[in-house]
Structure 1
């Protein structure tokens, strides 16, 4: 076999190493992860900080092995927020069955906060079509040119270009000429919508 490979690749067959490495595939149980997250929430509620630190470490190790990277990132951020006391349950003790709903609510809240931050930066909060910004981002398909299907993006840009000098929170954006602002907003809106779709 070494000689065949050496002939095909035109190299010295003694330089070829055919040793194999055994790679053990580890499937991560999402059910077990949810159980650990419930334990973490209960530990934080009961102020068991040392146990909580160990549980966070265990969750992060498992989520790092997940095939679904989007879900793994969401879990990692959710766990950080729990540990930092930014996420609380409505009632305790938290059960494993509660985690999907809590995680979904956290992801939705985080997404809305990210969109609001973007809108503030670009001066889109108080425009008449402010809610259309959310709608076109929610309905966006990653990589698709679908933000302006019904002319919504054009309307948003037109409205925003009238108020960005006063409403945008970013000083650089405020200082842009109107034509440059309109072009940059269109570019960043597409990238931002892709980023949101990837993240959530």
Structure 2
């Protein structure tokens, strides 16, 4: 870390804690929690909260404007494409770059880029298509919506059958074989 807590913590006038505030937000952007960033910068946890939310302890004066957080990279960003990846794809497609070139730039498989473009392109009027990154991100978020209802919640008949087996003291391992298939011949395949 290149930041050192100032030794002289006396009154600083209008620019009070400006350097600390800037470092606090830099740490927050790099993934530190508010509490950890406050500890590193050397300010109280409540001060960090006021900086983040834009409030001031004195009721007469408004605080600094609240921080509008930029969308943080998803925790799944190593596996799934995020919005910045999709914007990069759209820009490079407009420039005429090949899917393999785009894949190499993003460090992804060419099949991932091909599948993304095919899945999220919009057909035009003259049999042409366009890739719209924000619409693609919205569709991806909708497809990945959690929590998804479980099979037992969605199908009351299946839930009743499994419940009856549990009441007969069957273990979940006895109800499900190792492949996760319900051990009952008469159940429709869509239930399993």
TM-score bin (small chain): under 0.3
TM-score of the two chains, using structure 2 as the length reference: 0.28
Higher relative CO (Cα under 8 Å, sequence separation at least 6) belongs to 1
TM-score (norm. length: structure 1) = 0.27
